[in-house]
Chains A and B, each alone.
Chain A
Amino acid sequence: MLIKVFSAANLGLETIKVDVEVNLANRGLPGFEIVGLPDKAVDESKERVRAAIISSGVEFPMKKIIVNLAPADVPKEGSFYDLPIAIGILKSVLQFSLPEKSLFFGELSLDGSLRHTRGAFLLALFAKEAGLENLFVPKDSANEAAIIKGIRVYPVENLFELTSHFLGRKLIKPAIFKKSEIDERLPAPAEFDMKEILGQEQAKRAMEIAVAGSHNIIMIGSPGSGKTMLARALPGIMPPLSEEESLEVTKLYSATGNILPGGSLVTSRQFRAPHHTASQVGLIGGGVKPQPGEISLAHRGVLFLDEFSEFPRSVMEAMRQPLEDGYLTISRSKERVKYPADFMLVASANPCPCGYLNHPKKNCVCSSRQIKKYQKRISGPILDRIDLHIVVQPVDVEEFSENQKASEFLESSVKIKERVLAARQIQLERFKGEGIYTNAQMKNSQIKKYCRLTKEVEQILKQAGIRFQLSARSYMKMIKVARTIADLDGAEDIGISHMAEALQYRPKIYED
Chain B
Amino acid sequence: MKKIMVNVIEIQDKKYPELLKKIKDAPKKLYYKGEFKNDIFENCLAVVGSRRLTSYGRRMTELLVSEIAVKGITIVSGFMYGGDEAAHRTAVEAGGRTIAVMPCGINVIHPEYQEDLYNKILNNNGLIISEFEGDLLPALWTYPKRNRIVAGLSKAVLVVEAGLNSGTLITTGFAKSFGRKIFAVPGPLTSEVSRGTAQLIKQGAEIVMDASDILKYFNISTIDSIKANSSKKNSNLIQLSALEKEIIEHLKTESLEADILARMLSIPISKISASLSLMQIKGFIGQDGDKYYIN
Interface residue ranges, A against B (CB under 8 Å): 199-202, 204-205, 357-358, 363-369, 372, 391, 393, 395, 403, 405-406, 409, 460, 463-464, 467, 485, 496-498, 500-501, 503-504
**Alpha-carbon distance A286/B231, docked complex (angstroms):** 66
Shortest Cβ distance from A503 into B: residue: B277
Task: Provide the bound-state CA to CA distance between A497 and B32, in Å.
Answer: 53
> Contact: B266 with A367, CB < 8 Å?
no
Q: Known: A202-B273, A369-B111. Contact between A496 and B263, CB under 8 A?
A: no
Complex Cα distance A463/B270, Å? 20
Cβ–Cβ contact A368 & B53, under 8 A = yes
What CA separation (Å) do A498 and B270 show in the bound complex?
A: 9
* Chain B interface SS verdict (over half): helix
Instruction: Indicate if B81 sits at the interface (CB-CB under 8 A).
Output: yes
Interface residue B93 (Cβ < 8 Å from any Cβ of A): no
For the A-B complex with A369-B113, A467-B280, A504-B258 known, give 17 more contacts whose Cβ atoms are closer than 8 Å.
Answer: A201-B259, A201-B262, A201-B263, A202-B262, A363-B191, A363-B192, A366-B52, A367-B82, A368-B82, A369-B111, A391-B289, A409-B262, A497-B270, A497-B271, A497-B274, A503-B277, A504-B277
Main secondary structure of the interface of A (DSSP, over half): helix
A205 touches B192 (CB 8 A): no
Contacts of B53 in A (CB 8 A): 368
Give complex CA distance A372, B283 in Å.
27
Interface residues of B (CB under 8 A from A): 51-53, 55, 81-82, 85, 111, 113, 191-192, 257-259, 262-263, 266, 269-271, 273-278, 280-281, 283, 289-290
Determine the chain A residues whose CB is within 8 A of the CB of B277 once the complex forms.
464, 500-501, 503-504
Report Cα–Cα, A47/B82, bound state, in Å: 72
- Alpha-carbon gap, A365 to B191, bound state (A): 11
* Nearest 3 CB-CB pairings of A with B: A358-B289, A500-B274, A201-B269
Chain A residues near B273: list those with CB within 8 A.
202, 205, 500-501, 504
For A365, what are the chain B residues with a Cβ–Cβ distance below 8 Å? 52
The smallest beta-carbon distance between A358 and chain B, in angstroms, is 4
CA distance A485 to B270 in the complex (A): 9
- Closest chain-A Cβ to B293's Cβ sits at a distance in Å of 14
- Give the complex CA separation of A454 and B145 in angstroms: 60
| Contact between A406 and B263, CB atoms less than 8 A apart | yes
- CA A500 – CA B273 in complex, angstroms? 7
User: What separation, in Å, do the CA atoms of A94 and B42 have in the docked complex?
Assistant: 111
Q: Which residue of A368, A395, A405, A409 has the most chain B CB atoms within 10 A of its CB atom?
A: A368
- CB of B81 within 8 A of CB of A368, answer yes
Question: Measured between C-beta atoms, what is the minimum distance from A203 to chain B in Å?
Answer: 8
Question: B266 — which chain A residues lie within 8 A by C-beta?
Answer: 405, 409
A460-B263 in contact (CB<8A): no
- Return B255 CB to nearest CB of chain A, in Å: 11
Min C-beta distance of A61 to chain B, whole Å: 75
Q: Are A391 and B290 in contact (CB under 8 A)?
A: yes
B269 adjacent to A205 (CB under 8 Å): yes
With a 10 A CB-CB cut-off, give which of A372, A405, A504 has the most chain B CB atoms: A504
CA distance A103 to B269 in the complex (A): 58
- A369 to B57: give the CA distance in the assembly, Å: 16
Taking CB as reference atom, which chain A residue is nearest B288? A358
Q: Report 12 cross-chain contacts, Cβ distance below 8 Å, ordered by A residue.
A: A201-B259, A357-B289, A358-B289, A358-B290, A368-B53, A393-B290, A406-B263, A409-B262, A460-B281, A501-B273, A501-B274, A501-B277
- Give chain B residues whose Cβ lies under 8 Å from the Cβ of A467: 280-281, 283
* Most B-side CB within 10 Å, residue of A366, A403, A500: A500
- Establish whether residues B263 and A403, one from each chain, have CB atoms under 8 Å apart when the complex forms: yes
A463 to B282, CA, bound (A): 8
Q: Complex formed: what's the CA distance from A242 to B52 in Å?
A: 52
